[in-house]
Amino acid sequence: MDEVIQVTQWLSSITPRKKAKLFFFTTHADAPSPMVGSNDVDTHEETQLPLATTVALHNFKNIDEFLKKKVNTFSCYNVIENEITKTDYEYLRFYSACKYLDVVPPFLDLEKISAIQNKFEMTDEERDYRLLLDSADLVLEKVCDSLKPAGVSQMWAALRKDRNLIRGVKTIDIIGFFVDPNPTGIKECLFFFIVRFLQKADKINRVNTSRLERLIAQCDESSSCEEGKTIDFIIDSLRFYPTELYPFGFCLIMCVIEGRDGAMQEIEKTMEISRHLGMITHTEKNPTKETIEPVKKELMKPKYQFYSSFTCWFMSHGDSNSMVLADGETIEREWFLTSFPDISTFQLKPKVFFMVSCRGANKFSLKGDEFEGQSATCDYYDIGSALIRNRMLDITDSVRDISYVQPMMDTLVAYSTILDHLSGRANTHGSIYVDRACVLMSENISRGRSLTEILEHLSQDLHEILQETMDEDRIVYKQACHYDSFFRKTLKLPYTRHPKEDVHSAPQ
């Protein structure tokens, strides 16, 4: 069959709502640039003009033309070995979006997808199409689904009032003041236009969404929300780090085995909970300075841009400032914690570090006969919020910026003990901190708990446990853990363990 006819038949089989979503996912706002093969095309026009004309004319002709052009580009594209291009990213995004929406073109060359994945050095686990979807876009899709056409129309009216923001933007004028978002697919096009416009104007990104939240907050709840949804519910959904679908993120486990009883148990537990959470995991046993640097370079490879989060477990002996590596050399804890969060592939994504080692030799000792032989190792002021706000500074958009980010932002560091103190372990099971952390995370999947809630529970749980030193003094003591957070959103554990799909060789 002629390819033109095939493309026409494929487009006619897609509903308007799915066309709008396919366009949105395909024009991903954070696509890497500049890339090999990129050009000077005005991406602002490319991503917003088709949406604007569709909303204005109630006609999907321009979106159809955009999708046809994408299909034709991919059809003629020759995969160049070793050199990752902008088209490689676009091809993977397009395929994953089609797969997610169940509209994969029957004529799409899946062998090219496999060849591109080879260029990215993707493992069998990483060839799951869900890895290629942008989790932030999936959250925005859910927000759109939670709003009625009237709600999106009210957001548009609120946006139009910000004259400084919209001044001189042609696509805004194309849509006009009054919009009828009721025809099928038009609500989605208008919402996605608003989102992409705010992203291109550097007003929102995957972490900073307050400008979008303020537009939603101006909607009338009774007319703007789908059944069972509220304005607060919709806004709250934007205040979590986007980690939708499988995988939950990438997990790096570094564990010194030499001279640490129970270290293999630590590895097994952290690997098990990582898989349970739906993470793709890499284990580095007995790390040294020579092996840590290649791991860091590995994480800079382009494929890691597709991950939604990064978690690292580092388990070793240590003191107040450093950690002991497998060869007896030490590494400064501060250097480790500042160099890994600065990896560009995980920028604007949550990064969690579990630092499991002693930070000194001090102990919170417990004295008294009752502790011997017990251890796990053997007025109000009612001030309204409106009144408070009236007394606060008026921070305008002109003094806000989301473009420049401190490297440590969106990072959380969890320590197994406090400064200058021991981190306890059991002879056969390894670190008690690791054991309790894995148990609590496993128990709280599907409960909608955030990571910080679990760490607070862990702090309480660990501090209840009586431990005993392994020297001749047999001192009974307690351990206190804590964390330092630079998070700007809440990181929730997944509700369910997303199963891995069978994705060996070419995509299905």
Higher-scoring residue by pLDDT: 154, 390: 154
The pLDDT confidence band at residue 237, using thresholds 50, 70 and 90, is very high
Residue 316, CA atoms < 13 Å, CB-side half-sphere: 26
CA 413 to CA 410: how far, in whole Å? 10
Structure tokens at 52: 């604007």
Q: What is the mean pLDDT of residues 364-389?
A: 51
470-496 pLDDT, tens digit per residue, is 777 788 888 999 999 999 999 998 865
Residues paired with residue 316 on neighbouring β-strands, in sequence order? none
Helix (H), strand (E) at residue 321: none
pLDDT at 493: 85
Residue 88 has pLDDT above 70, yes or no: yes
Strands 364-365 and 322-324 come out as unpaired
pLDDT at 503: 41
Contact 487, 410 (CB under 8 A): yes
167-215 pLDDT, tens digit per residue, is 888 889 899 888 999 999 999 999 999 999 999 999 999 999 999 999 9
Identify how many contiguous H helices and E strands the chain contains and give both numbers.
21, 13
Range from 80-84, 224-228, 475-479 carrying the lowest mean pLDDT: 80-84
DSSP states along 70-98 = HHHHHHHPPPPSS--BHHHHHHHHHHHHH
- Among the residues of 77-160, which ranges form H helices? 86-101, 110-119, 129-132, 135-146, 149-160
Helix (H), strand (E) at residue 218: none
Structure tokens at 162: 């910000």
Residue 29 has pLDDT above 60, yes or no: no
Residue 264 has pLDDT above 70, yes or no: yes
The pLDDT confidence band at residue 443, using thresholds 50, 70 and 90, is confident
Contact 433, 481 (CB under 8 A): yes
Residue 309 has pLDDT above 80, yes or no: yes
Q: What is the mean pLDDT of residues 221-227?
A: 93
The pLDDT confidence band at residue 246, using thresholds 50, 70 and 90, is confident
Whether cis (ω within 30° of 0) applies to the bond prior to 287 is no
pLDDT at 270: 94
Residue 339 has pLDDT above 90, yes or no: no
Neighbours of 480 (CB within 10 A): 13
Contact 316, 357 (CB under 8 A): yes
Sign of the CA dihedral 462, 463, 466, 469? positive
Contact 377, 425 (CB under 8 A): yes
Residues paired with residue 323 on neighbouring β-strands, in sequence order? 318, 331
CA 424 to CA 440: how far, in whole Å? 18
pLDDT at 373: 53
CA 260 to CA 239: how far, in whole Å? 40
Contact 164, 227 (CB under 8 A): no
pLDDT at 190: 97
pLDDT at 367: 62
Contact 356, 266 (CB under 8 A): yes
Q: What is the mean pLDDT of residues 247-276?
A: 92
CA 142 to CA 195: how far, in whole Å? 13
CA 193 to CA 160: how far, in whole Å? 13
pLDDT at 148: 96
Structure tokens at 42: 């005005």
Torsion of CA 110, 114, 115, 117, to 10 degrees: 130
pLDDT at 233: 93
106-147 pLDDT, tens digit per residue, is 988 999 999 999 999 999 999 999 999 999 999 999 999 999
Contact 312, 414 (CB under 8 A): no
Helix (H), strand (E) at residue 4: helix 3-12
Predicted structure pTM score: 0.85
Helix (H), strand (E) at residue 13: none
pLDDT at 36: 41
pLDDT at 385: 46
Q: What is the mean pLDDT of residues 234-260?
A: 92
| Average pLDDT taken over every residue of the chain | 86
Residue 65 has pLDDT above 60, yes or no: yes
SS3 389: helix
Q: What's the DSSP call for residue 498? A: P
Sign of the CA dihedral 104, 110, 112, 115? positive
CA 104 to CA 254: how far, in whole Å? 39
Neighbours of 120 (CB within 10 A): 20
Structure tokens at 478: 């307690």
Q: What is the mean pLDDT of residues 302-312?
A: 94
400: Cβ contacts below 8 Å, ≥ 6 apart: none
CA 62 to CA 45: how far, in whole Å? 12
Q: What angle do CA 245, 250, 252 make, to 5 degrees?
A: 155
Contact 409, 205 (CB under 8 A): no
